[in-house]
Amino acid sequence: MRRKRKLYEFFRTSFIFAVLASVISGCVTPQDVHQANERQCLSYGFRQATNDFAQCMQRESLAERYSWGDSHSTYIYPWW
């Protein structure tokens, strides 16, 4: 009986740790997204403080917002 309890405690602790690790690793701040978009636009050859750079930032932001992996966006089509 004591062995089953230890095994249960081990699996419960492992499950909680796995859930917390996956939640923490999925957290990305808006600043992180903005910096990633900036790096991407700079890698395309756009220069900061230009209209083309601003348009690139807008496109990157919209692409992130409407990508399937973004849980904070409003999708065009409802899920039903």
> What are the structure tokens assigned to 17, written together?
């740790």
Question: Which residue is listed with tokens 């395309």?
Answer: 44
**Count of the separate structural domains present in the chain:** 1
User: What does the alpha-carbon distance between residue 13 and residue 71 come to, in Å, rounded to a whole number?
Assistant: 27
Strand (E) positions, the chain?
none
Residue 39 is assigned to a structural domain of this protein: yes
Residue 40 is assigned to a structural domain of this protein: yes
Residue 20 is assigned to a structural domain of this protein: no
Per-residue pLDDT of the chain (80 residues; tens, 9 = 90+): 688 888 888 878 887 877 777 767 667 788 888 999 999 999 999 999 999 999 999 999 888 888 755 555 454 555 55
Q: What is the pLDDT of residue 21?
A: 72
Residue 79 is assigned to a structural domain of this protein: no
Structural domain span for residue 35:
28-67
**Would the pTM of this model clear 0.85, i.e. be above it?**
no
